[in-house]
Chains A and B, each alone.
Chain A
Amino acid sequence: MNMNNTTYKVPTMAEKTAAGESPEVLFWVGCAGSFDERYKAVTLAFVKILNKVGINFAVLGEEETCTGDPARRAGNEFLFQMQAMSNIQVLDGYQVKKIVTACPHCFNTLKNEYPALGGNYEVMHHSQFLQGLINEGKIIMKGGGSFKGKKITFHDSCFLGRANNVYEAPRDVITALDMELVEMKRCRSKGLCCGAGGAQMFKEPEKGKKDINIERTEEALKTGAQTVAVGCPFCLTMMADGIKNKEKEKEVNVLDLAELIAKDQNL
């Protein structure tokens, strides 16, 4: 039991269907959201928000599998399509219409690449979903608290930004908090990658003079922000590693947008 005395629920599609209900939106958790020790906190934060606002949602639970994005970016089209087609079978089996996910890679693949294989859904990134909840007044930011007046910077994920032109939604979420948004020099369409995209997350980088996440971390630190906000599991890992590498983890924290809201709402 937490302090709000609410019991959070995480219904699965199987349960909902068995009860004859059809949820309004499917929360696609993603592999990082399911397995990554640090990033699971983001999944929990988002689920708590969904509970608090009273969204009729469900997850696939054990029926969810990798969208195939890293396989496709690394060149293995067969594996990607195997994954995609079996996921589409599951999604269509539950007659899913609307999907929200916190992972821009899942977002991009589900939204842009599944239609060619017969999977057509309305897909939203959680920043867009949260922006909607704020605009509709379903989330009213408390402000103040530990955030008040602190500097925050937002690191654009390539798969949300350049890949899909989503630049405003995450910034709208941040400005709803009582914080000062300071941009890095390379932001929005000029944002520098964290280094993990294109399946780089799953291998060591090629030989060079520096790691990409260090280059980006240095830029983030230059803003003087105490919080680096991200909207992507891989960016979160890369930026957090960079901050650790610079031994700044006591002064600067890396948080996902959902975590920022959950903190503000004391969830």
Chain B
Amino acid sequence: MSSLPQILFLLVLGGAGYLLYRRVSYLRQTMMLGKPASRTDNPKERWKSMALVAFGQKKMFKRLGPALLHLVIYISFVVINLEVLEFMIDGLAGTHRIFAPVLAGFYTTAMNIFEILALGVLVSCLFFLVRRNITKVPRLSSAELKGWPKLDANLILWIEILLMLAILTMNATDQLLAYRGVEKYIPLGGLWISGSLQWLFDGMSNASLLFWERFAWWFHIIGILGFAVYVTYSKHLHIFLAFPNTWYANLEPKGKMPNMDVVTREVQLMLGLQTAPSANETAPAEVGRFGAKDINDLSWVNLMNAFSCTECGRCTAECPANITGKKLSPRKIMMDTRDRAEEVSQNIKAGKKGLDDGKSLLGNYISQEEINACTSCNACVEACPINIDPLSIILEMRRYTAMEESGSPAQWNAMFQNVETSFAPWKFAPSDRFNWASEINKEAK
């Protein structure tokens, strides 16, 4: 028998592997444009959080309907991909359903489970398509999703539908061939779902059946490999990044802003709390910029967050500023961060100016109006099913605006002045601060 299909398979596999390797390295380099951040403390808590939030989908269940549909696709993705192992062996060794004789009756059970899940994926994807395109769930049809994000979302759903149809077609034709006693094809004794589709192929000749079976097999495996590469260009990257993203997520109370140690050193000097570092002490590292203007001022965790975002918009749907019609959308903050990081990274790859291209995240992508509207209420952080933190990006940009550009809104500048001179955000005489106490025994009850 010709080994041409095996060679072809090896080429397809090698090609996909090479493309994936290049894409993964590129994404890694892009995320590493961010500043270092140490997020490896308390590993026990981190594993637990990853197990609950990413693996266990805990936060998805704040919205039951989509959570259930998503769960079906998620479980199916994990389970059906077990079959890819058999595809690989069959493809390389030129065998057919190599596990069938080994696993015997269990193989049929497994195939039936895969088929039920495949049907579940089909139905879920159809529901998702309806939610996106017909009933137009508000968070899935906002302005920021126009163009590529919308197409990307629909493409993913259609690709998944086609992949599932390929599995069912493959099994239906495979079992018809087995039933007809064609060599190599193994009767599995009843596959319920593909079995009920066999009437579609019943009238075909063996040759046509063979064509369809092989076509579906190749379509499925090339489809999966192609999808894996596609995912690296897509918001769908969350299927992998959700795991590290939850592992490296912030474990501190959400209200705590990280301290800027660079500022602490300067303030200590100003207040005379510390003398200047002596000659033998190493001088503090180059200060760089206060806060964030561009992606290299953010941490690599911020950038990983951006690539992990699947644009579900739960953050934006909970954002008080967005709900009341302000420009701010936490999802857009994440999408802008990702788009700018990609722009810079591609710039560098093409040997162009990289970060010095005259553009920046704050200004060209995100406006002052957006970051000023944030109430730092943490609703977006709480809402994210994979613990993305849009707030930290917003607050870093406010730091840049206030400390590097003195560009805060006039009323905030007035507030700063009050704190400086009156030690309260309002303009009251500090000596009046304790006046309230004199009222306590005056009140007539």
Give the Cβ gap from A229 to chain B, nearest Cβ, in Å: 19
Contact of A200 among B257, B323, B375, B400 (CB under 8 A): B375
Q: Would A199 and B439 count as touching, CB distance under 8 A?
A: no
Beyond A79-B420, A113-B257, 8 additional contacts (C-beta under 8 Å) are A81-B263, A81-B264, A82-B420, A112-B252, A162-B381, A163-B255, A208-B321, A212-B375
Name the residue in A195, A210, A212 with the highest tally of chain B Cβ atoms < 10 Å from its Cβ.
Answer: A212
Is B373 part of the contact surface with A, judged by Cβ < 8 Å? yes
- Contact residues, B376-422 vs A (CB, 8 A): 376-379, 381-382, 395, 397-403, 408-409, 411-412, 414-416, 419-420
Is B15 part of the contact surface with A, judged by Cβ < 8 Å? no
Contact of A116 among B259, B270, B369, B435 (CB under 8 A): B259
Report the stretch among A63-71, A136-144, A173-181 that lies at the interface. Answer: A63-71
- A65 vs B409: C-alpha distance when bound (angstroms): 23
Q: C-beta contact mask, A195-208 vs B, less than 8 Å → 1, else 0?
A: 11111111111111
Give the Cβ gap from B424 to chain A, nearest Cβ, in Å: 4
Q: Would A207 and B395 count as touching, CB distance under 8 A?
A: no
Is B147 part of the contact surface with A, judged by Cβ < 8 Å? no
Given contacts A34-B433, A62-B434, A163-B253, contact A193 B377 (CB under 8 A): yes
- Contact residues, B317-332 vs A (CB, 8 A): 318, 320-321, 323-328
Contact of A205 among B373, B381, B434 (CB under 8 A): B373
The 9 closest A-B pairs by CB, nearest first: A163-B255, A198-B376, A75-B402, A209-B325, A75-B398, A65-B423, A208-B325, A193-B377, A203-B411
Is B215 part of the contact surface with A, judged by Cβ < 8 Å? no
Is B430 part of the contact surface with A, judged by Cβ < 8 Å? yes
Q: Would B326 and A203 count as touching, CB distance under 8 A?
A: no
Is B256 part of the contact surface with A, judged by Cβ < 8 Å? yes
Contact of B430 among A48, A65, A72, A204 (CB under 8 A): A65
Neighbouring A residues of B18 by C-beta, 8 Å? none
Neighbouring B residues of A163 by C-beta, 8 Å? 253-256, 378
Given contacts A62-B433, A112-B255, contact A85 B375 (CB under 8 A): no
Is A73 part of the contact surface with B, judged by Cβ < 8 Å? yes
Given contacts A75-B400, A212-B320, contact A202 B263 (CB under 8 A): no
- A190 vs B376: C-alpha distance when bound (angstroms): 14
- Contact residues, A46-90 vs B (CB, 8 A): 47-48, 59, 61-62, 64-66, 68, 70-79, 81-83, 85-86
Whose C-beta in chain B lies nearest to the C-beta of A104?
B255
Show 6 A/B contacts (Cβ-Cβ < 8 Å), sorted by A: A1-B441, A29-B436, A70-B419, A76-B416, A86-B271, A205-B373
Is B444 part of the contact surface with A, judged by Cβ < 8 Å? yes
Given contacts A65-B424, A198-B374, contact A79 B419 (CB under 8 A): yes
Give the Cβ gap from A81 to chain B, nearest Cβ, in Å: 4
Neighbouring A residues of B273 by C-beta, 8 Å? 85
Whose C-beta in chain A lies nearest to the C-beta of B417?
A79
- Contact residues, B341-397 vs A (CB, 8 A): 369, 372-379, 381-382, 395, 397
> How many B residues touch A, CB cutoff 8 Å?
75
Chain A interface size range: 35 or more
Is A192 part of the contact surface with B, judged by Cβ < 8 Å? yes
Is B440 part of the contact surface with A, judged by Cβ < 8 Å? yes
Contact of B411 among A40, A204, A208 (CB under 8 A): A204
Chain A-chain B contacts (Cβ-Cβ < 8 Å), number: 229
Neighbouring B residues of A146 by C-beta, 8 Å? none
Given contacts A34-B433, A40-B439, A113-B257, contact A85 B267 (CB under 8 A): yes
Chain A residues within CB distance 8 Å of chain B: 1-4, 7-8, 10, 12, 29, 31, 33-35, 40, 43-44, 47-48, 59, 61-62, 64-66, 68, 70-79, 81-83, 85-86, 108, 111-113, 116-117, 158-159, 162-165, 189-190, 192-193, 195-212, 214-216, 266
- A196 vs B426: C-alpha distance when bound (angstroms): 15
- A59 vs B13: C-alpha distance when bound (angstroms): 72
Give the Cβ gap from A248 to chain B, nearest Cβ, in Å: 19
Neighbouring A residues of B300 by C-beta, 8 Å? none
- A195 vs B376: C-alpha distance when bound (angstroms): 10
Give the Cβ gap from A7 to chain B, nearest Cβ, in Å: 6
Give the Cβ gap from A265 to chain B, nearest Cβ, in Å: 12
Q: Would B428 and A35 count as touching, CB distance under 8 A?
A: yes
Q: Would B395 and A73 count as touching, CB distance under 8 A?
A: yes
Is B443 part of the contact surface with A, judged by Cβ < 8 Å? yes
- A86 vs B430: C-alpha distance when bound (angstroms): 15
Whose C-beta in chain B lies nearest to the C-beta of A37?
B436
Given contacts A77-B290, A162-B379, contact A10 B324 (CB under 8 A): no
Whose C-beta in chain B lies nearest to the C-beta of A109?
B255
Give the Cβ gap from B293 to chain A, nearest Cβ, in Å: 12
Is B83 part of the contact surface with A, judged by Cβ < 8 Å? no
Given contacts A62-B434, A199-B415, contact A2 B328 (CB under 8 A): no
- A207 vs B372: C-alpha distance when bound (angstroms): 11
Is B44 part of the contact surface with A, judged by Cβ < 8 Å? no
Neighbouring A residues of B146 by C-beta, 8 Å? none
Is B206 part of the contact surface with A, judged by Cβ < 8 Å? no
Is B425 part of the contact surface with A, judged by Cβ < 8 Å? yes
Give the Cβ gap from A170 to chain B, nearest Cβ, in Å: 16
Name the residue in A35, A111, A266 with the highest tally of chain B Cβ atoms < 10 Å from its Cβ.
Answer: A35
Neighbouring B residues of A215 by C-beta, 8 Å? 320, 323-324
Neighbouring B residues of A207 by C-beta, 8 Å? 325-327, 369
